[in-house]
Amino acid sequence: MRVLVTGGAGFIGRRVVLRLAEVGHAPVVFDRALDPADDVTDLARVRQALAGCDTVVHLAAKVGLGLDIDDIDDYVTQNDVGTAVVLRAAANAGTARVAYASSMVVYGEGAYTCPVHGPTSPPPRRVADLEAGRFDPLCPRCGSDLVPGLVPEGAPLDPRNVYAATKAQGEYLAAAWCRETEGSVAALRFHNVYGPGMPRNTPYAGVASLFASAIARGEAPRVFEDGGQRRNFVHVDDVAAAVVASLEADLAPGVTPLNIGSPDVTTVGRMAEVLSEELDGPAPVVTGQFRLGDVRHITADCTAAERVLGWRAERPLSSIAELAGS
């Protein structure tokens, strides 16, 4: 297949392009980092790039939670308008398959169970609770401690920051596109991706990269909240394998959402400890700081990806030491 990869020069995109070539496909990279004219909001440019392509991997996006509300229009432009343009161009080109980079953030908080009331969705976190060091959500009905669990793809979407809202909207746009075109979209809900080439020292860098950057400077990783936030950390090469598998899988028309994460649940604090151990750095410092747009626990049930794609994350968390040389 000839595959257009938007964002193909980015952290995940480079590994997707490499994986596509390794298994015999022909990737076409579309990325402003290589050519400033390659903007996903430019319909004519995207149409030109799609010429002769069989399918699209749409990775290009503005990432991170956002610094403040002044980012909101740029997020919507780059992520939602960009996705709409890519989908329109794909329809115009007769392309019936798209892999869309969604995110775990579309769920908001993860899956929780109240010992009294059963499955429960916690309300958005309050500044007063966070300032007081009350980080774990409580049952809104009885105040009991909620027990976190794994989130399946059928969970309702509950985006709790601007970036999350744009990713959820991208899935809704994809669903409309599928109804109009009878095409198929794999909505790949990436969990916390790490690995070589991860962006460093920016407000939008992932937590693993920020920790690794601090250690490289001889500084202790600074862990927000109490470090107990539960996450799935998944290696970028595993993510690239999932993306390529989604192009080759026999998907029904419509949107197929799939969690792409590790089967192992790790806390943010433990991630910092592993990095310090693997990179021989200072011990982490737990700061108690917080970001209101963050969620407390979000971990994935990834069995659907294994069933639908024949894919399963393989790289152990110890491979995070690769960040030292990236």
What distance in Å separates the CA atoms of residue 300 and residue 149, rounded to the nearest whole number? 8
Structural contact between residues 209 and 198, judged by C-beta atoms closer than 8 angstroms: yes
Say whether domain 2-111+149-323 belongs to CATH 3.60.70.12.
Answer: no
* Element of type H or E holding 56: strand 55-58
- Going by the DSSP 8-state scheme, the letter that residue 144 receives in this structure is P
Note whether 251 and 304 are within 8 A (CB).
no
pLDDT of 202 reads 54
Q: What is the pLDDT of residues 161-193, one digit of tens each?
A: 899 999 999 999 999 999 999 999 999 999 989
Residue range(s) in the chain whose domain bears CATH number 3.40.50.720? 2-111+149-323
Question: What's the average model confidence in pLDDT over 195-220?
Answer: 79
Given a cut of 90, whether residue 325 has pLDDT beyond it is no
Residue with the larger pLDDT of the pair 278 and 255: 255
Per-residue model confidence as pLDDT tens digits over 131-161: 999 999 999 999 999 999 999 999 999 998 8
Contact between 181 and 144 under an 8 Å Cβ cutoff? The reply is: no
Q: How does strand 147-151 pair with strand 111-114?
A: antiparallel
Please report, for residues 93, 173, 192, 196, 321, the alpha-carbon distance to residue 214 in angstroms, rounded to integers and kept in the order given: 46, 39, 18, 16, 14
CB 325 within 8 A of CB 283: no
Q: Which two tokens stand for residue 299?
A: 């971990």
Mean confidence (pLDDT) of the chain? 92
pLDDT band at 321 (very low <50, low <70, confident <90, very high): low
Place of tokens 């990775």: 59
Q: pLDDT tier at 209 (50, 70, 90 boundaries)?
A: confident
Nearest by Cα to 216 from 281, 155, 311:
281
Percentage of residues in the chain with pLDDT exceeding 90?
Answer: 77
Name the pairing type of β-strands 184-190 and 97-103.
parallel
Lowest-pLDDT range of 159-163, 212-216, 251-255, 291-295: 291-295
Which pTM value belongs to this model?
0.91
Per-residue pLDDT band for 35 (boundaries 50, 70, 90) equals very high
Q: Does the pLDDT value for residue 205 go beyond 90?
A: no
Q: DSSP characters for 33-65? A: TT-TT--TT-HHHHHHHHTT-SEEEE-----SS
